[in-house]
A and B are shown apart, each in its own frame.
Chain A
Amino acid sequence: MTNKYKDDFEIIFKKVIGVNTVTDDMEMNNIAEWDSLKQVQLIAELEEKLGLEFDFEDIITMTSVKKIDSVLKKF
C-alpha cells in the first residue's frame, strides 16, 4: 500500500476488521473476519476519520486492500 493515508488506513482496518496485520493480499473473500457488516463499518470509518467521501462506483470495488489502496490514491 502506497497511498498517503497508509498509516491511518492500517489503524482503522485493524480496529474494524479485528486483525493484527495488514497485507496487500487481503480480500473479503480470504479473510474470515471481513464480512459484509464490517465492510460497511470500514467504509464509514474511512470516510469519517479521513474526511473523505467516496463515489459509489469506487465503494463497490473496495473489497480488497489493493483495491482500497487504488481508491485512496485518488485523493
Chain B
Amino acid sequence: MREYQKIDRGLDFKYSSVYSLLYDKYLNNPEKEFVFSLQKSDHEVYTYRQFISKVIKVRLFLEKTGLKKGDSINLILPNSADFLVLYFAALSSGIIVCPINYSLVPREISYIVNDSKSKILFTDEEYIRKVEDILPEIPGIRKIIIFSRNQADVKYFNLYEAIDDSPCEIIGHDNINLDDKSVVIYTSGTSGNPKGVTLTHANLLADAQAIAEWFSFDEETRTLCILPLFHNNGQVVTFLAPLWAGGSTIMIKGNVSLIAFWDLVEKYKATWTSVIPTILSVLLSFKRKRKDNQMKGIICGGALLPRSVQLQFEEIYNVPVFEGYGLTETTSFSCFNPLKVNDRKIGSIGKELPVNEMSIMDDEGNILPDNSVGEICIRGYNVFLEYCNLPERDKIAFRGGWFHSGDFGFKDSDGFYYISGRKDDLIIKGGENLYPREIENVVYMHPAVKDCAAIGIDHPIWGQDVAIFIEGKENMVMTSEEIRKFCEDKIAVFKIPSKVYFINELSGLNEIPKGPTKKILRKELEKFYKENLADKS
C-alpha cells in the first residue's frame, strides 16, 4: 500500500479480494436470495449459489478468451445481474473492470476505451450501435461480446451462450492480492478529457466494510440500487456494502421512472437505498405516497444536499436521510452523518469513516484548526491507487501524503465536516461531474464561435445546470438551438448547455471576462448571471 493509503489505526482485512468476500458469503448462506434484477416488468432472482455459479462459468469463459491478470475490459451495460456476474468473474481472474457511462456519445466512449487500454468490450443489444460507430477508432479492442436474449443475433459472440444453468464446481481460490487493481472508473477532468481513477481490491473491501458497519447492515439488509453501476456509488454503497453484511440487493435500470420508486421499495422490501440530492427533489416534486414500512434510511451524496430538501423529505416520507461525502478517488464515501438520527447535524457531511482520515489544509499543506476553511484532504484504505496514465496529475493530487480533493470546507469542534465550495470550476449536475473545459472545447469547434465560457447555474432539480456565454465571429450568426444541436453528437446530453447567451445580445457585458493570463474569470460571469439573467430564465 502507498503512503496515502495507510492510517495509524490499522484495518484487519478479513478478505484478500472482492471475490473471496463473495465466496465467504456464499458458504455462509448459499440458498439465500442475493440479487433481484429488474427486467422490464418482470425480475430475475439469484441466490448466492446461483449467482456464484454464473460467476464461475463466465470466469472460465474469460480465461478462454486469453485475458490475463492485469488486462482490462470495458462494460457498457445497464444495471443488471449480467453486469454484476461479469464484474465478479473479471475481478476473480485479476482482470480490471472499466465500466463506461452509456449516456456518453461515441466520441467520448472511444477516448475511455483507448485510455483504459482495454482488450474486450462487453455491451448489450441496446448499446451495440454506439460501439459499432467507433469500431475503427478503438483498435486495441480485439473482441466485442454482447449479452443478448435474442438467439438469432449472431454478429457478435453472445455471452449467454457461455452461461447455462447446469451445476458447476464452485472454486474458492483466486490469485489476487489486496493491492491488485480492481476497477477503473472515469470521472470528469479539468483539462476536458475524463481521467481514470484506479481502485484496488483493498479500496473496494475497505469502503464496503466501512459503510456496512457504519449503517449496521446485516443479513436482512436489502438495498435498492438505482444509481448506475458505472459509478462507484452504485457499486459500493448498494452492492458491495450489503454483500459485506450477507444481505441482498435489487438492481434497477437507470431509465426506469422514479415515479415507481416507492412501489419498488414496497414490492421488493428494500431497507436502504443510496441517492443523489436530485432524486430526493424529484421524489418531492410529485405526490406519490410511501407504501412500505421497512425502509430504514436513505444515504445521500454526490452533490450538496439542500437543507430544505432534506427536512421536507423527512417530514413527508418519515424516513431519515444520511448525508455523506466522498469522491470516486475515495472509492465512494469518506464521511457520513451518524446512524443515530438525533446525532446527525443537518447541513453537515458528517464525520470521517474509520477506514480513512480527513483534514483541512491550507495551500502550503498545513493542517488547519477547527472551524477554519481550507481544502478537504483524505488518506486511508479507501483512497485510490493512481490516475490512469497521468503520473503528473498523481503528484499534484497526492502531495504531502494526502489526497487533495479540490473541495473547500471546514471541521467543527465535534468532528463534523462541512463543504464551503470548490477549489476549481467543477459543475455537478444531477450527481454527474462536469468541467467547463470539456463543454467549451466542443462549442469552440462551431465555425461561428470566436470565444466561449461555460459556468454552472442553479437548478431546482439537478442542483446545477450548464450555461454558456458565446462571442461570435464577425458577420457570422447563430442561434442557441444551433449551438445545442451542434453539441449533440459530440458530448453527452447531460453536458449540453441548457442556456446559451450571446455576448452581443447582452447589455452590461462586452466580452468574456478574463484575467491577465487570459484565464476565464468564471466568478465574474456567475455574478453577472445572478444579477442580470437568473430571474429571467
Instruction: Using CB atoms and an 8 Å cutoff, list the residues of chain A in contact with chain B.
Output: 28-29, 32-33, 35-37, 39-40, 43-44, 54, 56-63
Contacts and interface: CB of A to CB of B under 8 A. Distances in A.
B493 A35 contact: yes
B388 interface: no
Contacts of B264: 56
A60 B254 contact: no
Interface in B245-298: 254-260, 263-264, 267, 278, 282, 285-286
Contacts of A62: 257
Interface residues of B, number: 25
B257 A40 contact: yes
B117 to A, nearest CB: 28
Contacts of B494: 35
A40 B282 contact: yes
Given A39-B255, A56-B260, A61 B461 contact: no
Contacts of B493: 32-33, 35
Contact of A32 (B41, B278, B430, B488): B488
A59 B254 CA distance: 13
**Which one of B257, B263, B282, B462 has the greatest number of beta carbons of chain A within 10 Å?**
B257
A58 B260 CA distance: 9
Contact of B258 (A29, A36, A63): A36
A36 B254 contact: yes
A29 B492 CA distance: 12
B307 to A, nearest CB: 22
A40 B38 contact: no
Contacts of A60: 38, 40-41, 256-257, 260
Contacts of A33: 493
A36 B494 CA distance: 10
B126 interface: yes
B461 A37 contact: yes
A32 B40 CA distance: 21
A63 B496 CA distance: 22
Contacts of B256: 59-60
Contacts of A35: 493-494
A53 B97 CA distance: 41
Contacts of B282: 37, 40
Given A29-B255, A40-B257, 9 more contacts: A29-B126, A37-B461, A40-B282, A43-B259, A44-B286, A54-B259, A59-B260, A60-B260, A62-B257
A62 B264 CA distance: 16
Contacts of A36: 254-255, 257-258
Nearest to B461: A37
A43 B41 contact: no
B82 to A, nearest CB: 18
A23 B260 CA distance: 25
A58 B41 contact: yes
A63 B252 CA distance: 14
A59 B260 CA distance: 7
Contact of A40 (B41, B258, B462): B258
Nearest to A35: B493
A61 B41 contact: yes
Contacts of B278: 37
B230 to A, nearest CB: 15
Given A35-B494, A40-B285, A44-B259, A56 B254 contact: no
B259 A63 contact: no
A35 B227 CA distance: 15
A72 B405 CA distance: 49
Nearest to A37: B461
Contacts of A56: 259-260, 263-264, 267
